[in-house]
Amino acid sequence: MRTIKSLDIQDARTLIAGARQKAAEIGVPMCIAITDEGGNLVAFERMDGGKVTSITIAIDKSFTASGAKKATHEYGTASQPGAPAYGIAAAIGGRLMVVGGGLPVIFEEEVIGGIGVSSGTPDQDRAVAQAGIDAFLAAVAI
């Protein structure tokens, strides 16, 4: 039997709050999704003005980050034409996201979930996701 650590709903709220604050600072309303260790959705918020198309994209970025245990922008590099993972962007019915904005949430060297952000540029999405993780790590450090 495996014993797994995974994000709970309170952790998810902390992650979303941190991301939301950063999104407000840069003035880009975002879709923000949190998944647990198994890639299943724990919480989601679409800020007023967040894009309708970004709902699924944010959820799938988070799914990819927690399920594959790596940041989606890493796939972005590895899946360019000519690179080894070229073509992976269409996998799992398109759920495997290679666009930046999905980050694994890591605690004591284990992936315990993910955060996915969408509605801005990939760099903005990634910065907002990172702000969520920073808020979470600050909270668990207390």
Place of tokens 């890591």: 106
* CA-wise closest residue to 128 among 61, 70, 68: 61
CB neighbours (10 Å) of residue 80?
Answer: 12
| Out of 17, 44, 106, 137, the residue judged to bind a copy of itself by CB under 8 A | 44
Find all residues with CB under 8 Å of 104, minimum gap 6, and list them: 65, 66, 69, 70, 71, 111, 113, 114
Site for a copy of itself in 46-65 (CB under 8 A): 46-48, 51-57, 60, 63-64
21 binds a copy of itself (CB under 8 A): no
Site for a copy of itself in 102-141 (CB under 8 A): 107, 112, 121-123, 140
Binding site for a copy of itself (CB under 8 A): 1-9, 11-12, 36-48, 51-57, 60, 63-64, 66-69, 75-76, 79-82, 84-100, 107, 112, 121-123, 140
